[in-house]
Amino acid sequence: MDFTKKSCPVCSKRFTSDDDIVVCPKCGAPYHRGCYEIKGACIFTDLHKKGETWHDKNEEHDIDTVEQTDDNSVICQSCGHKNSKDSIVCEKCGGFLPVSNNVSDSYSTDDDDEEDPFRMSSPVFRAKKIYVDDIRDFAIGIKKDDDFDGVTGEELMTYVGNNELYYGPIFSSIKKKNISRFNFATFLFQGIWYFHRKQYLIGTILGFLTVLPMVAQYFCYSYFKTNELWTQVQEAVASNGYASYRDYIAWIFTNCDVLHGIMMLLPLALSVVSFVVTIILAFRANRSYYKHAIKKIKSIKTKNSGKSEQDILEIIRNKGGINQGLSFMILACELIITVAFTM
């Protein structure tokens, strides 16, 4: 049988007379032997169940036309799964689908784009017309109409504003699987990240907790430097060379009264508390931001219920996003305080 006018349903390449071709005994679908071995079986299981015969749609339509069934769905050329007509990627295998001719113009359809060096073999790159929004939704893992506790995906991503590619998949994971991710920005910059994301209350608390150990260390050690006990502590540390903090703490409470012992260990205790809190918040930062965004968006929608959808989105955009100026100012203040109390 002549297959030279047909295409392999796996790689979409036209068969040549030199190809090693195998044919499915149930539906008659031809494959390159290598493509069939990769899949391990015929991909058109739907045809097998219906007792139908495979035929190559590319023989009847141009390659830029979507392969559609009678119910207006799109068949994936890689796995044979039926997808909704507006799909860009296959819902089953994630492969790119051809793009229909009735898609709104998002790119130029001039003939000179045939020379475009970025055109690729995938149908989505060969297409002259694509849904840009659908590609964006696929990249961030959130669709505009998805519901997030009473807030749409579009509203949520409008509030985020910056770094959608990071927060989109995380928020989707929180909604679907209740799983978040460790936030390294919070771990490295503590309260500054919260100011950056306009969470001012918790940013203030965490910023205070970050600076507090340095302030305590400055005042406590300043007190001891005028006290004979400080000289004794320095001599003890130099002569004994304590192997652990436990030995050091035991010496302090053996040779000092309770008040002086607490004052001497307070900076260290506050530093440990600050570090532990930072670790905990870094694990919960994304979830906290998700809840913060949902709460703020609902409040905005309630206060502006009489306005149009576009007006509300504009207000959400202005209220959300980042506060870059304030975060840089807080960072500068923390650096100044650190330098001032360590000199």
pLDDT tens digit sequence for 27-51: 888 888 888 888 888 888 888 888 8
Do 192 and 331 share a domain, yes or no? yes
Q: How far apart are CA 124 and CA 46, in angstroms?
A: 24
Domain end position, chosen among 35, 60, 85: 60
- The amino acid that residue 337 corresponds to is I
Do 311 and 203 share a domain, yes or no? yes
Asked if residue 246 belongs to a domain, the reply is yes
The more confidently predicted of residues 82 and 297 is 297
Do 258 and 309 share a domain, yes or no? yes
CB 14 within 8 A of CB 26: no
Residues 6+ apart with CB under 8 A from 109: 128, 129
CB 236 within 8 A of CB 255: yes
Whether the pLDDT of residue 11 is over 70: the answer is yes
pLDDT tens digit sequence for 163-206: 888 888 888 888 888 888 899 888 888 888 989 999 999 888 88
Do 80 and 42 share a domain, yes or no? no
Domain end position, chosen among 155, 177, 199: 177
Do 171 and 261 share a domain, yes or no? no
Do 234 and 274 share a domain, yes or no? yes
Asked if residue 81 belongs to a domain, the reply is yes
Beta strands (DSSP E) in the chain are 21-23, 30-32, 74-75, 82-83, 147-148, 151-152
Considering the chain, what is the average pLDDT of its residues?
A: 75
The more confidently predicted of residues 263 and 115 is 263
**Out of 101-110, 177-186, 233-242, least confident range:** 101-110
Whether the pLDDT of residue 224 is over 90: the answer is no
CB 251 within 8 A of CB 240: yes
Residue 22 forms beta bridges with which residues? 31
Asked if residue 136 belongs to a domain, the reply is no
Domain holding 98, by residue range, is: 67-130
Pairing of strands 74-75, 30-32: unpaired
Residues 6+ apart with CB under 8 A from 260: 224, 229
CATH number at residue 16: 3.30.40
Q: Which residue has the tokens 């989707």?
A: 172
Do 334 and 204 share a domain, yes or no? yes
CB 171 within 8 A of CB 187: no
Tokens of 80: 């044979």
Q: Which residue has the tokens 């032997």?
A: 33
Half-sphere exposure of 272 (CA within 13 A, CB side): 6
